[in-house]
């Protein structure tokens, strides 16, 4: 199996793991929040990250991956930024309608494209842009129901979009700049993310729910779903860093909207949530956009691979053909001088 085939196989595995784990944790958290009344989302996320760090520490002790320290300031800044973006997204949901919150999540893709174009000179083809437009229209039709605006909610949503975009772009750039794997980056940034959310989580949850997380009645059923949610979160956090590292922040957001469509479908099938014609239409349009996006990305990656391999193939061909080497080359002498090799004349050989 070639290196490119192994990379493609690893990417498919990372995407599949991300979809399965994310849909699973949404269903688990929906039961925990809606059915059991545990509405402390930010504090729960801090527990997710704490369990993820402990799991990775055990994996490190078992020598399943190698610890690779790098710039501590970059790690701390990245971890705090990631934790802040999660808290801002939860605040955005608390101070806005569900419809406006979904619009906030949709705005992450065009904002990411804009930032990568301005600061990283990344070029997105018209076909990629068109597929993203179809995707966003489809998800918008399926999920956005109302758009109630308020100044504070809009400001929080703007901050949430910016911090989320920057954090996801940094996830990709840090892995490439410092040559660290997704596991190594997650292991080093997890404590800062968990600390940030553990400090602000109870305050934010109290502000949004008017309840105290420490005064909640933790029944065995609630504890079971909290533990299950934390275990699934290990896979969610790992696959998130893995997907962004292997692909890009935009691709991860496209994958996120695929998860949204799957959650809507599973909610209708398993939980009998209300499902209208606009949900079906929106999901169908979104799936078309995802297919076009995947096809365009595959096509462009193949073109880049062909362009990169063409000069190497020409160089190997010239090295393997002695006639081309004699006609075009020169013999290098031991004293540093260059002596032209005799040119072969095919017409002269024939007349002889």
pLDDT for 108-162, tens place per residue?
889 999 999 998 888 888 888 998 999 899 888 877 766 666 788 889 999 999 9
Tell me the average pLDDT across 270-297.
Answer: 80
Note whether residue 317 is domain-resident. Answer: no
Confidence of residue 275 (pLDDT cuts 50, 70, 90): low
The total of other beta-carbon atoms located within 10 Å of residue 106's CB is 21
Is 275 a member of any domain? yes
Indicate if the pLDDT at residue 53 is higher than 90: yes
Prediction pTM value: 0.74
In angstroms, rounded to a whole number, what is the distance separating the alpha carbons of residues 67 and 58? Answer: 12
Residue 113 domain-assigned?
yes
How many Å separate Cα 20 from the centre of its chain? 14
- The whole-number average pLDDT for the span 170-199 is 92
Number of domains in the chain: 1
Alpha helices in the chain (DSSP H): 3-30, 41-61, 72-95, 98-106, 108-120, 126-143, 151-177, 182-209, 220-246, 249-270, 277-320, 322-328, 346-351
Q: What are phi and psi of 90, to 5 degrees?
A: -65, -40
pLDDT of residue 4 exceeding 70: no
* 347 in a structural domain: no
pLDDT of residue 347 exceeding 80 = no
Read off the pLDDT band of 270 (50, 70, 90): low
Most confident residue range from 192-196, 258-262, 280-284, 310-314: 192-196
What is the band of 91 on the pLDDT scale with cuts at 50, 70, 90?
Answer: confident
- The rounded mean pLDDT for the chain is 81
CA angle 169, 174, 179 (to 5 degrees): 140
Q: Per residue in 156-182, pLDDT tens? A: 999 999 999 999 999 989 999 999 988
Does 337 have pLDDT greater than 70? Answer: no
* CB-CB contact of 138 with 288 (8 Å): yes
End-to-end CA distance of the chain: 51
**Is 102 part of a structural domain of the chain?**
yes
Q: Using CA of residue 55, residue 242, residue 263, residue 270, what is the dihedral sign?
A: negative
Q: What is the pLDDT of residue 329?
A: 45
Domain that holds residue 145: 14-304
Within a domain: residue 222?
Answer: yes
């Amino acid at each position: 199996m070639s290196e490119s085939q192994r990379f493609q196989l690893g990417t498919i595995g990372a995407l599949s793991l991300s979809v399965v784990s994310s849909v699973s944790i949404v269903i688990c958290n929906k039961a925990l929040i809606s059915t059991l009344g545990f509405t402390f989302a930010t504090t729960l996320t801090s527990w997710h990250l704490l369990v993820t760090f402990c799991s990775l520490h055990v994996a490190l002790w078992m020598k399943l991956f190698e610890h690779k320290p790098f710039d501590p300031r970059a790690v701390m800044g990245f971890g705090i930024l990631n934790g802040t973006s999660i808290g801002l997204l939860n605040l955005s949901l608390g101070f806005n309608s569900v419809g406006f919150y979904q619009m906030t999540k949709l705005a992450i893709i065009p904002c990411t494209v804009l930032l990568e174009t301005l600061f990283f000179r990344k070029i997105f083809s018209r076909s990629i842009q068109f597929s993203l437009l179809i995707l966003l229209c489809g998800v918008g039709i399926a999920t956005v129901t109302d758009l109630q605006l308020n100044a504070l909610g809009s400001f929080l949503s703007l901050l949430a979009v910016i911090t989320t975009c920057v954090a996801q772009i940094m996830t990709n750039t840090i892995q490439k700049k410092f040559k660290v794997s997704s596991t190594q980056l997650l292991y080093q940034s997890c404590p800062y993310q968990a600390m940030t959310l553990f400090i602000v989580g109870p305050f934010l949850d109290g502000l949004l729910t008017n309840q105290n997380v420490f005064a909640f009645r933790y029944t065995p059923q609630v504890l079971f779903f909290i533990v299950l949610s934390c275990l699934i979160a290990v896979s969610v956090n790992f696959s998130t860093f893995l997907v962004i590292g292997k692909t890009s922040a935009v691709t991860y957001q496209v994958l996120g909207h695929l998860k949204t469509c799957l959650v809507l479908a599973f909610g209708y099938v398993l939980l009998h949530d209300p499902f209208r014609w606009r949900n079906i239409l929106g999901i169908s349009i979104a799936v078309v956009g995802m297919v076009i996006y995947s096809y365009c990305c595959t096509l462009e990656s193949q073109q880049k691979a062909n362009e990169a391999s063409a000069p190497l193939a020409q160089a190997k061909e010239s090295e393997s053909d002695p006639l081309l080497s004699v006609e075009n080359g020169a013999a290098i002498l031991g004293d540093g001088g260059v002596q032209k090799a005799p040119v072969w004349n095919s017409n002269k050989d024939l007349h002889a």
